[in-house]
Amino acid sequence: MTRIATCSCQSLRAEVSGDPIRVTACHCDQCQRRTGSVFGVGAYYKKEQVQISGPNSVYVRGAPEGRTVSSHFCPECGTSLFWEADIAPGVIGVAVGGFVDPDFSPPTISFFESYKHPWVAFGRGLEHFLQRPGYPLWAKPKLPGIES
């Protein structure tokens, strides 16, 4: 399956193939600022699953433990469409809202909930963490009874 996420003016595109490694809801202060909303929803893909086209500018910010996150946005409309973190080489996060697809897979994990607005609630069960989980978010989740 191929999906295309675009910025508001549709100049910047992220075409993805296959399923994401994981879909997350992040409530950290940086995702709130990046999205202008109370949390960000990201789909993580292996770099080879993502084809980027169109102009983009990059904002590099600091992250915990001296790391960095590079947010790529459209220089025309300002939409932050995808990002890369040095802690996860070979992985690209794509903003789920850019797909404008109500059938997109929902998040399976909600983290940095210490920043979560108290009125935010999810209608289905997912893993919850006050901070970052103790395992890498970009690793394929292990499902009970399934060997990987």
Q: Tens place of pLDDT for every residue, the chain, 148 residues? A: 899 999 999 999 999 999 999 999 999 888 899 999 999 999 999 999 999 999 999 999 987 778 899 999 999 999 999 999 998 899 999 999 999 999 999 999 998 899 999 999 987 778 888 888 777 766 665 544 333 3
| Both tokens assigned to 58 | 């990059």
Where along the chain do its domains lie? 2-128
Instruction: In whole angstroms, give the CA distance from residue 58 to residue 17.
Output: 23
The whole-number pLDDT of residue 141 equals: 59
Any idea which residue has 């109500």 for tokens?
102
Burial 24-35 (b: 16+ CB within 10 A, else e): bbbbbebbbebb
Evaluate whether 126 touches 137 at the Cβ level (below 8 Å): no
The whole-number pLDDT of residue 82 equals: 98
The whole-number pLDDT of residue 90 equals: 93
Residue type, 55: P
Pick the CATH number of 2-128 from 3.40.50.1000, 3.40.50.10680, 2.170.150.70, 3.90.76.10: 2.170.150.70
The whole-number pLDDT of residue 63 equals: 79
The whole-number pLDDT of residue 147 equals: 38
The whole-number pLDDT of residue 140 equals: 60
Instruction: In whole angstroms, give the CA distance from residue 130 to residue 50.
Output: 30
| Both tokens assigned to 41 | 């929803």
CA quadruple 90, 96, 100, 106: dihedral positive or negative? positive
